[in-house]
Each structure stands twice: as structure tokens, then as C-alpha cells.
Amino acid sequence: MKASVTSLLILTAFLSAVQTRAQRGPMPDMTHDQFTKQADGRFAALDRNGDGALSPDEGGSASGGPPLRPEMLDTDKDGSVTKAEFAAAMAARFEQMDINRDGVVTADERRARRGQMGDRGRPNR
């Protein structure tokens, strides 16, 4: 009985998550300005102490996006990721996704980019 209740709770949580994603529908096209605004919001959510830099203990996925890889973002290697470093990395990411360079990332471009990615979000070689 206990296992059945646990299984039912897990199934309910899973179905709720699937329904929530289905309600949101497909991700809309995104302009560079929209992407930048979203990146700014993610930085603010991650910067829990509000000091304008992400320390190693703030680099999780609290904003719902993928986990950060601070070693890739900390360009000056001082142990933290500043808002400028984060913004530069996000701008580069937008440029990689905007395949036709029209300033808008479409669903097709996102799918194509995901198809190019290998394990852990690294490009296939």
C-alpha cells in the first residue's frame, strides 16, 4: 500500500510537469533584446547575495535554466562571474543560436542547435 501511494504521488507530479510544459506551448521566437532581458533575469535570480557577481556557491540552476559552468564564464579567472562576463557569454550563445544572423532565434534554429550539441551541452565534433 505504501509503495502504491508513493508511486501515485510520483506519477501525479510527473503528469503535472508534463501538463505545465504543454500549457506553455512551443517556445516563441526570441529577439536579441528579449534574450538579453531573459539573461539579465537569470543572472539576478542566480546572484542571491546581490553583489553583482556569481560566486561558486551561487552557480546552480535556481532560475530554471541549465546549470552554469563557471570555469567557462569566468574569463578573468578571479573565481567569480561578473554580470559583464555573464552578459558576454549569453551574447555569444545568442550568436551561436542565430544561425541566419537576422537577430531572431526561431524554434527551428533552437532545434538545429540542439542537434549540434553532444553530451553536457558541448558541440559535437
Can you list the positions of beta strands (E) in the chain?
Answer: 30-31, 53-54, 81-82, 104-105
Helix axes 83-97, 32-46, angle to 10 degrees: 140
Query: pLDDT at position 66, please?
Result: 59
pTM above 0.95, yes or no: no
Where are the domains positioned within the chain?
27-121
Round to whole Å and give the CA distance between 75 and 94: 18
Residue 8 pLDDT greater than 50, yes or no: no
Split at pLDDT 50, 70, 90, the class of 81 is: very high
Q: What is the mean pLDDT of residues 9-13?
A: 44
**Structure confidence by residue, pLDDT tens digits, 27-74:** 789 999 999 999 999 999 989 899 999 888 776 555 455 566 777 889
Round to whole Å and give the CA distance between 13 and 21: 13
Round to whole Å and give the CA distance between 118 and 109: 16
At the fourth CATH level, the homologous superfamily of domain 27-121 is EF-hand (1.10.238.10)
